[in-house]
Amino acid sequence: MSDLTCPKCQSPMRSYERNGVTLDQCTGCRGLFLDRGELERLVDAEGSFYQQAAERERPREPERQRESGYREPTLKDFFSSTGSHGHHGGGHHKKKRKSFLEEMFD
């Protein structure tokens, strides 16, 4: 491994690989530096990330009812019929999904 020096602050740099992309990060100013071609790889990896996320979030087909027309009740059916979830005000909030770059640099 070669010793890299930050062109901005002259501090040592650390190299690491995430999702097939090699990044060089300064230990002093925390600047990120990419080798030739790495930006294109990063853009391609981001496209794949969002395409996979969209495929995971596609709505599933509704449950088909059995021939008798009976469908097993779900918890959602139960809570909507009782009118309360035991919470006071406000709805359920999903945790915000991290962006591709947030996940990459975590």
Residues 50-97 have pLDDT tens digits of 888 777 776 665 555 556 667 777 767 766 655 555 555 555 666 676
Q: Give the separation between CA 103 and CA 57, rounded to whole angstroms.
A: 18
pTM: 0.47
Residues 18-41 have pLDDT tens digits of 878 888 999 999 999 988 888 888
Work out the pLDDT band at 105, boundaries 50, 70, 90: low
Domains of the chain (ranges plus CATH)?
Answer: 1-56 (3.10.20)
Q: Give the separation between CA 86 and CA 62, rounded to whole angstroms.
A: 27
**Amino acid type, 87:** H
Burial class (CB in 10 A: 0-12, 13-18, 19+), 73: exposed
